[in-house]
Structure 1
Amino acid sequence: MLKHTMLFLGYELRSTLRNPIWPLFGVLQPVLYLLLFAPLLANTGAVGASQAEALEAFTPGVMMMVALFGSLFVGFGMIYELREGYLERLAVSQVWRPAIVLGRTLRDVVQLIVQALLVVGLAALMGMRADPIGLLLMLLLMAVVGMLASGLSYGMALAVRDENGMSQIMQFFAMPLILLTGILLPMSLAPQWMQTVALFNPLYHAVEAGRALFAGDLGDGSIPLAFGLTLVLAVLALTWSVRSMRRLAG
């Protein structure tokens, strides 16, 4: 099982290294937010009086943006492989079928961690200072969120099997996810009804936990809540995608 998963992980990583332009494009939008939006927050005083304070609050949200949108669209490549018949041939082969999904998911997590380190490095150059232990825990939380988004994307790809339909579903949820997670602005600035709705969004708790981790507040209650919620949902999403792969093999 582990051997097959590692084989697929190695294959997917080599494929990514042969064409690294898309991962670089994937991190470009969060970097632009960091460069252009964080200074605006510092000037408004919404999340801190200085740029360093604004970056400390804004960078965890950008990292969650990388984790969410960097993995939420990976299923489009699987739809292409379904159309070409490549995935069916893999599914009926002698490999451990969950490894087909798990290897890709681990590839997505590795890619996200590299992208996150680029974002953190840029934020540090701009003046951000994060708690070292909190930063490591934030990377772990980001990996779990990436597994959740990746599992959802692969499961949806195997269920919908159409780029247009999947794109419509993704676009429908993209804006609410951005607004109700507090990625761009803290939800404390939102009206009360939006704050109430955000409490039912697991990604909101992940962003709040990230801000607490960066601030070094390791005892904040949002941290275990975020890890618990996202881990349970990630397991459910991966289970869905693995079962969908098994059904593909008949």
Structure 2
Amino acid sequence: MSAQTQTTGTARREEPRIVVRTGPGKFVTDTRAVFTREILLTLRDPFTLIFSLLQPLVFLGLFAPLLTGTFADTGMTTAQTLQWFVPGVIVMISLFGTSMTGSNLLYELMTGSYERVLATPLDRSAILVGRALKEFAPLVVQGLLIAVLCLPFGFRFNPLHAVAALALLGIFGIGVGALSYALGLAAKNREWLFWGVQQALIFPLLILSGMMLPLETGPGWMQVAARFNPLTYIVDAERALFAGDVTDPVVLWGLVAAVVTCAGGLLVGVRTTRRHT
């Protein structure tokens, strides 16, 4: 009897302990889990990645020749025009991609899979960051591919500076993705509301950032509005980084705009997620 009791006690002492992660460790683990789940779904259907690459290539093929003619009076060569234009195209890809985070959520809300995600002990901010990074990761490949395709035409970039530019763009993309996620929750069962707000905001932001066309020749009110557009500072910072000018003050302003957008997006996103839980 005593031997049996001793064996049972020993077995109990040898039971593995369950370690529950908390703090930054849990956030990183949960973010990796969400990102892995989401990116595997994307890799199973690579056609969407190929199709999403067509739009920036169309912009590049149509706008670049027009800009070359526009900047001809200023003495800018084709290479200099691409140096100005390509970073804007890469920012455009990121903005379009991360702002679509909420559209995927709408589908999960209709199928009921979103409720199963909320039933897990995942950190709410990790869900937002993981999904935003999932949208951003393919865009890195697309952006680098576009940059490589422009190399024969005179476009130049330093790999380390390009990594810094993409990292800054990733911080900004997390904030945009979180805001899109919050919009998707707010527009639950009203898909038209999500697309209406998304389209109404994204195109003015694009135009007022000087991404496609320079704003120096625009009216005064447009130049003033551009100063209140965080995307303006992101575009300027990307152009400076791809050109190799890391010490340009616009890089610091771009970092500030990216961090503020990221923090504000996560704050709104987490609050909206908890409110709809």
Aligned residue in 1 for 2:48: 22
RCO comparison, higher one (Cα < 8 Å, 6+) = 1
Q: 2:187 aligns with which of 127, 143, 160?
A: 160
Aligned residue in 2 for 1:175: 203
Q: Percent identity?
A: 37
Query: 2:260 is matched by which residue type in structure 1?
Result: V
Residues 44 and 242 of structure 1, relative CA distance in 2, 3 Å threshold: same
Question: Across the two proteins, how many residue pairs are aligned to each other?
Answer: 249
Partner Cα distance (1:27, 1:238) in 2: 27
Aligned residue in 1 for 2:239: 211
Aligned residue in 1 for 2:87: 60
> Cα RMSD over matched residues?
1.8
Residues 96 and 192 of structure 1, relative CA distance in 2, 3 Å threshold: closer
Residue range with higher mean Cα deviation, 186-195 or 156-165: 186-195
Partner Cα distance (2:150, 2:165) in 1: 15
Query: 2:123 is matched by which residue type in structure 1?
Result: W
Query: 1:207 is matched by which residue type in structure 2?
Result: V
Deviations 1:47-89 (A, max 9, x none): 7621111000001110110111111122111011112221112
Aligned residue in 1 for 2:14: none
Measure how far apart 1:202 and its partner are. Answer: 0.7
Partner Cα distance (1:192, 1:13) in 2: 44
Deviations 1:109-163 (A, max 9, x none): 2122112112211222332112444322211122122212211110111112121
Aligned residue in 2 for 1:196: 224
Residue range with higher mean Cα deviation, 162-171 or 89-98: 89-98
Residue range with higher mean Cα deviation, 98-107 or 76-85: 98-107
Kept in 2: contact 1:148–1:237 (CA 8 A): yes
Measure how far apart 1:220 and its partner are. Answer: 1.5
Kept in 1: contact 2:87–2:242 (CA 8 A): yes
Q: Name stretches of at least 5 consecutive residues in structure 2 with no aligned partner.
A: 1-25
Kept in 2: contact 1:4–1:99 (CA 8 A): yes
Partner Cα distance (1:37, 1:48) in 2: 18
Q: Within the alignment, does 1:43 sit opposite 2:69 as a pair?
A: yes
* Greater Rg by CA: 2
Deviations 1:19-60 (A, max 9, x none): 122222222211111122112211222676211110000011
**Structure-1-length-normalised TM-score:** 0.92
Aligned residue in 1 for 2:21: none
